[in-house]
C-alpha cells in the first residue's frame, strides 16, 4: 500500500543560470557571459530530486504548461526515477521560468511564475497521496490557487496516515501569513531559513523564534547558510555545521538540506544526526551550478557525516 516514501506537492519550473559578468546593460547592448545552464528549478522539484538521489521513493504533484519548459522539467524528475503521474499538464498556462544572474558573491533572479501559482486542490490525485508515508509541501507562498486549501490537503494526508513537512520559502509579499498558523498546526516538520523563521514569528532573535514555534508535535529545523543549521523538537535542541566545500552556486541548497533532513526524520534518526545529514546534503549540492547537478547520494553523504 505505502509504495511511495515522499509525495511532494509544489511548484515545478526550469532555471536558466547565467554566470560571469551578468549585470545587464540596457540601450540595446549585447554582453557575453561565461556560461549558460538550463536546469531543473523550483524549491519543491529540487527537494524531490534530492530525496530521490538519497534513495527515497518519490512522487511529484504539481502543474506545468504544455510546452518545452514543462517537458524539460518533467524529464529532469523522471531521470531521477520520480513518479510524475500526478503532474497536471495544463495547456492554458505557461510553465514558469527563473533566469538567475549568478555572480560568485551574489545573485539576481527574474521569475515568471506561470503555472506555479495555478495548481488547485481538486487537481491533486488523492490516490497518490494515500500511497505515501510522508507529504512535503514547498514554496507555500507561491502556490496562490492552492493556499486556501492547504489545511484541507494536510487533513486529507493526515487521515491517510502521512507525516507532513513544509518549507514555505520566502514570502514575496513579506506578510508571512496566508493562514500559515493553521497550516503549521497540521504539520510535523517546518523547514525555514533564518529570515523566514523571523518573518513568520515576528521575532528578532533566532533562539527565541525557534523555541516559540517548536513544540513536541512540530519539529523546526532552520537553515543558516554557511553557518549550517539549528533544530528544535520539544525540549531537544541541536546544532550542526556545514561541510567546507568549494562553493560554485548555492541555488537550492536549502532544498537539498530539506531532503537530507527528511531522510533522517523518516528513518527515525536522532535530531542531531538528521540535522547533520541536512547540512551535509545542502553543502554538497553547492559544488555545481543549479540545484540538482551535485546533489549527494546517500553513500556520499554518509561518508562525510
Ligand atoms: N556557503 C556555503 N558553504 C557550505 N555550506 C553551505 C553554504 N551555503 C549553504 N550551505 C549548506 O546548505 C544548507 C542550506 O542552505 P541555506 O541556508 O542557504 O538554505 P535556504 O536559505 O533555504 O536556501 P534556498 O532556499 O535558496 O535553497 C545550509 O544549512 C548549509 O549546510
Ligand atoms: Mg529555502
Q: Is residue 233 part of a domain?
A: yes
Q: Is residue 299 part of a domain?
A: yes
Q: Is residue 198 part of a domain?
A: yes
Please give the residue range of the domain that contains residue 81: 4-10+44-95+117-304
Ligand 1 pocket, residue 98 CB under 6 Å: no
Ligand 2 centre distance from Cα of residue 196 (Å): 8
- Against a cut of 0.95, is the pTM above it? yes
Return the number of other C-beta atoms located less than 10 Å from residue 125's C-beta. 15
SS3 state of residue 133: strand
Q: Is residue 108 part of a domain?
A: no
Ligand 1 pocket, residue 44 CB under 6 Å: no
Neighbours of ion ligand 2 (CB under 5 A): 169, 254
Q: Is residue 103 part of a domain?
A: no
How many domains does the chain contain in total?
A: 1
SS3 state of residue 86: strand
The CATH number assigned to the domain holding 228 equals 3.40.1190.20
> What is the spatial distance between Cα 60 and Cα 158, in angstroms, rounded to a whole number?
18
Under a CB-based contact definition with an 8 Å cutoff, are residues 121 and 96 in contact?
A: no
pLDDT tens per residue across all 305 residues of the chain: 899 999 999 999 999 999 999 999 999 999 999 999 999 999 999 999 999 999 999 999 999 999 999 999 999 999 999 999 999 999 999 999 999 998 877 889 999 999 999 999 999 999 999 999 999 999 999 999 999 999 999 999 999 999 999 999 999 999 999 999 999 999 999 999 999 999 999 999 999 999 999 988 999 999 999 999 999 999 999 999 999 999 988 889 999 999 999 999 999 999 999 999 999 999 999 999 899 999 999 999 999 99
Ligand 2 centre distance from Cα of residue 32 (Å): 30
Ligand 1 centre distance from Cα of residue 205 (Å): 19
The dihedral region occupied by 245, where left means phi > 0, alpha psi between -120 and 50, and beta the remainder, is: beta
Q: Is residue 141 part of a domain?
A: yes
Q: Is residue 288 part of a domain?
A: yes
Q: Is residue 237 part of a domain?
A: yes
Of all atoms in ligand 1, which is nearest to the CA of residue 191?
22
Amino acid at each position: 500500500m505505502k509504495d511511495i516514501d515522499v509525495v511532494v506537492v509544489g511548484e515545478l519550473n526550469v532555471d536558466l543560470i547565467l554566470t560571469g559578468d551578468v549585470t545587464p546593460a540596457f540601450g540595446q547592448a549585447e554582453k557575453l557571459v561565461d556560461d549558460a545552464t538550463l536546469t531543473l528549478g523550483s524549491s519543491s522539484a529540487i527537494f524531490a530530486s534530492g530525496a530521490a538521489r538519497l534513495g527515497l521513493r518519490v512522487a511529484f504533484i504539481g502543474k506545468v504548461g504544455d510546452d518545452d519548459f514543462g517537458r524539460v522539467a518533467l524529464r529532469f524528475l523522471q531521470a531521477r526515477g520520480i513518479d510524475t503521474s500526478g503532474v497536471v499538464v495544463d495547456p492554458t498556462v505557461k510553465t514558469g521560468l527563473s533566469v538567475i544572474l549568478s555572480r560568485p558573491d551574489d545573485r539576481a533572479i527574474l521569475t515568471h511564475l506561470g503555472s506555479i501559482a495555478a495548481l488547485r486542490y481538486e487537481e491533486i490525485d488523492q490516490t497518490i497521496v494515500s500511497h505515501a508515508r510522508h507529504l512535503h509541501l514547498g514554496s507555500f507562498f507561491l502556490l496562490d490557487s492552492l493556499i486556501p486549501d492547504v489545511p484541507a490537503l494536510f487533513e486529507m494526508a493526515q487521515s491517510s496516515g502521512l507525516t507532513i513537512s513544509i518549507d514555505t520559502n520566502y514570502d514575496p509579499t513579506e506578510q508571512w501569513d496566508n493562514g500559515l498558523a493553521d497550516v503549521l498546526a497540521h504539520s510535523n516538520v517546518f523547514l525555514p531559513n533564518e529570515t523566514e523563521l523571523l518573518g513568520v514569528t515576528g521575532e528578532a532573535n533566532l533562539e527565541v523564534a525557534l523555541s516559540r514555534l517548536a513544540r513536541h508535535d512540530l519539529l523546526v529545523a532552520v537553515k543558516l547558510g554557511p553557518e549550517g543549521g539549528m533544530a528544535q523538537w520539544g525540549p531537544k535542541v541541536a546544532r550542526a555545521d556545514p561541510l567546507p566545500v568549494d562553493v560554485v552556486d548555492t541555488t537550492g541548497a536549502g532544498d537539498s538540506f530539506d531532503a537530507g533532513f527528511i531522510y533522517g526524520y523518516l528513518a527515525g534518526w536522532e535530531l542531531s544526526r538528521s540535522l547533520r545529514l541536512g547540512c551535509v546534503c545542502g553543502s554538497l549540492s553547492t559544488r555545481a551550478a543549479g540545484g540538482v547537478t551535485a546533489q549527494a547520494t546517500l553513500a556520499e553523504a554518509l561518508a562525510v557525516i
